[in-house]
Chains A and B, each alone.
Chain A
Amino acid sequence: MPDKIVIRHLTKHFPIGKGKPDKRVLEDVSFSVVESSFTTIVGPSGCGKSTLLNILAGTEPLTSGDISIAHEGAGEARVGYVFQAPRLLPWMTVMDNMLFVKPADADKVKYRATAEHYLEVVGLQTEHKTYPLALSGGMQQRAGIARALAIDPDVLLMDEPFSHLDEITAENLRSELWRIWSETQKTILFVTHDLNEGILLADRIVVFGRNSKMLDDWTNELPRPREFTNPAVTKVMADFTTHFFDLQAQADREMAEEAAA
């Protein structure tokens, strides 16, 4: 499979005021994401993982380096985005929330059919006319996923979409997401701070550190479906967690040395 997302030497600094050094959010990050793959980015808060998604979504400028998303036709790549909170407009029905993000060049009738299809995929086929506040948190997030898929995105970016949900709902949605991914073959880049979630979902885990650098790039070869109850899965979770904390400690030491020098 060809590369879908290519990130080369990406650096992002935020100015925080006159006379102060810029805050480093991303430091020389390079990796590519293969088409139709499922990649997660894990790391502590403030490591720049959400900023990376915002740069890919085109809502945040980068400082240096370059990024590209492969896509057909002219113009920019189409990005589907699932946020931490569902971000549905409460004054619109579920269906209107879907129709409202219709890309300007999409055919109205076709788009409606696609929207209906994805509402069915996420199990909301009977909720077209429901207002979001009458849905549970998990169902709202399903609608958010359907909305991101309805625009037929080149890539699907997900920023901790299940972190606000209770564990049972989150676990249901994870297996749903895995099913949706295998059916649609979308390229997914999924940010999370939950290592176990990364292991359950992804083919590949990219680790970011508090120093805003990429620390590791690990291929997850566990067979699917992956379940918490499987000892092989929990073994990988335990080993990976140890590895993750070693990497973070190493990064912290480097940061301290840099600050001293």
Chain B
Amino acid sequence: MPTQANRVGHVSIGVQPEDPPWKRLLFKTVLQPKVASVLVIVVCWLIAAALLPQDVIPGPLDVLREAKHIAINDNPLQAIGITMLRILAAWAVAMAIGTPVGILMASGRVFNGVLRDLVLVFMALPLVIWALLAVLWFGGSLMAPIVAGAAVAFPFTAVNVYEGVASVDRDMLRMARVYRLPKLVVLRKIMMPSMMPFIFASARQAFAMVWKTIAILEIFGASSGMGWEIEGQYERSSLAGVFVWIITFAAVMMVFELAVFSTFEKHTFRWRPKIGDLR
């Protein structure tokens, strides 16, 4: 039997050293959150495919067959690559514009007044409008997805960064003044680290906004990329083909989220105590 203290210390982790092997295996494999979420989706899909007609929800086997066909005849890696390139470029521009705008918004009443309205206007416009305008302006060039993605995402970055600056602990800034710390040290060692949670939130949100915009833009305004492939399958009335590309898209975004954001986050917030570490 686990002791009482042990129960309290490990309550949110779920695995206790005294658990039988089958239970440990269950927790370590199937019940891992990521695995479990994929399993839930697959089960829901199977049920839906069994209940609904073929032309509404294609079965997993049809989709697998279609995926094999696409993998052999088309060049899926190229489509994934070009879309990722567009997303990353637009995302970088959104962050590069949004971060200083957010800092400016926090640095004075005049800036705040002017920029707040501007940011709100950008935020209010639907992303499909930006996709449309960007295609009209820049056609098939790389500029179109960059401009559309950045225009949609930078207001969210700016607002997050603004909140980040506003959240910096005034007591820490007073401490810095008592110890006569130079401005640059205060910026690098106090301001930036306290803003990191907000920078992460803004990077994640901007990334999600950008890939939604670019998927739409590719569907009607590009001749390459995953969105364009989805459009091609739509033209062929291949529901299974559309599904293949939707799943690919979702999988790529999920892997990116796990590989990039989670890794950086773990490193940046290593100072946060883990459960059981507290004295």
Q: Across the interface, do B179 and A81 meet the contact criterion of CB distance under 8 Å?
A: yes
Q: Besides the contacts A89-B190, A131-B272, what 5 more A-B pairs have beta carbons closer than 8 Å?
A: A58-B178, A81-B179, A89-B189, A103-B180, A134-B278
B182 touches A (CB below 8 Å): yes
Q: Which stretch, B14-22, B38-46, B152-160, B168-176, touches the partner chain A?
A: B168-176
Q: Across the interface, do B182 and A151 meet the contact criterion of CB distance under 8 Å?
A: no
- Given A81-B175, A151-B179, does the pair A131, B190 have CB atoms closer than 8 Å? no
User: Closest Cβ of chain B: how far from A42's Cβ, in Å?
Assistant: 22
Q: Which residues of B contact A104 (CB under 8 A)?
A: 180, 182
A79 touches B (CB below 8 Å): yes
A: which residues have CB within 8 A of B? 57-59, 79, 81, 83, 85, 87, 89-92, 100-101, 103-104, 131, 133-136, 139, 151
Q: Which of B174, B177, B271 has the most CB of A within 10 A?
A: B271
**Which chain A residue lies CB-closest to B185?**
A100
B59 touches A (CB below 8 Å): no
Residue interface mask B174-197, A partner, CB < 8 A = 1:
110111111001000110010010
Task: Tell me the bound Cα distance from A90 to B179 in angstroms.
Answer: 17
Q: Across the interface, do A89 and B178 meet the contact criterion of CB distance under 8 Å?
A: no
Q: Across the interface, do A135 and B179 meet the contact criterion of CB distance under 8 Å?
A: no
Interface residues on chain B, size class = 20 to 34
User: Closest Cβ of chain B: how far from A200's Cβ, in Å?
Assistant: 26
Q: Which residues of A contact B175 (CB under 8 A)?
A: 81, 83, 87
B266 touches A (CB below 8 Å): no
Task: Tell me the bound Cα distance from A75 to B174 in angstroms.
Answer: 20
- Given A131-B271, A136-B279, does the pair A89, B174 have CB atoms closer than 8 Å? no
Q: Across the interface, do A89 and B193 meet the contact criterion of CB distance under 8 Å?
A: yes
B273 touches A (CB below 8 Å): yes
B117 touches A (CB below 8 Å): no
- Given A92-B189, A100-B189, A134-B278, does the pair A81, B178 have CB atoms closer than 8 Å? yes
**Which chain A residue lies CB-closest to B182?**
A104
Q: Which residues of A contact B271 (CB under 8 A)?
A: 90-92, 131, 133
B277 touches A (CB below 8 Å): yes
Q: Across the interface, do A85 and B171 meet the contact criterion of CB distance under 8 Å?
A: yes
B: which residues have CB within 8 A of A? 171-172, 174-175, 177-182, 185, 189-190, 193, 196, 271-273, 277-279
User: Closest Cβ of chain B: how far from A150's Cβ, in Å?
Assistant: 10
Task: Tell me the bound Cα distance from A247 to B231 in angstroms.
Answer: 85
User: Closest Cβ of chain B: how far from A49's Cβ, in Å?
Assistant: 16
User: Closest Cβ of chain B: how far from A132's Cβ, in Å?
Assistant: 8
Sorted nearest first, the 5 A-B pairs with minimum C-beta distance are: A131-B271, A101-B179, A81-B178, A91-B193, A87-B175
Task: Tell me the bound Cα distance from A151 to B181 in angstroms.
Answer: 12
**Other-chain residue from B178, B182, B193, B278 in contact with A59 (beta carbon distance below 8 A):** B178
- Given A91-B193, A92-B189, A134-B278, does the pair A59, B273 have CB atoms closer than 8 Å? no
Q: Across the interface, do A134 and B172 meet the contact criterion of CB distance under 8 Å?
A: no
**Which chain B residue lies CB-closest to A157?**
B178
**Which chain B residue lies CB-closest to A87?**
B175
Q: Which residues of B contact A133 (CB under 8 A)?
A: 271-273, 278
Q: What are 27 sample pairs from A and B whose C-beta atoms fall under 8 A apart?
A: A57-B178, A58-B177, A59-B174, A59-B177, A83-B171, A85-B171, A87-B171, A89-B172, A89-B189, A89-B190, A89-B193, A90-B271, A90-B272, A91-B193, A91-B196, A92-B271, A101-B179, A103-B179, A103-B180, A104-B180, A104-B182, A131-B271, A133-B271, A133-B272, A134-B277, A135-B279, A139-B279
Q: Which residues of B contact A136 (CB under 8 A)?
A: 279
Q: Which residues of A contact B273 (CB under 8 A)?
A: 131, 133-134
Task: Tell me the bound Cα distance from A131 to B174 in angstroms.
Answer: 21
Task: Tell me the bound Cα distance from A113 to B193 in angstroms.
Answer: 27
Q: Which of B179, B182, B272, B279 has the most CB of A within 10 A?
A: B179
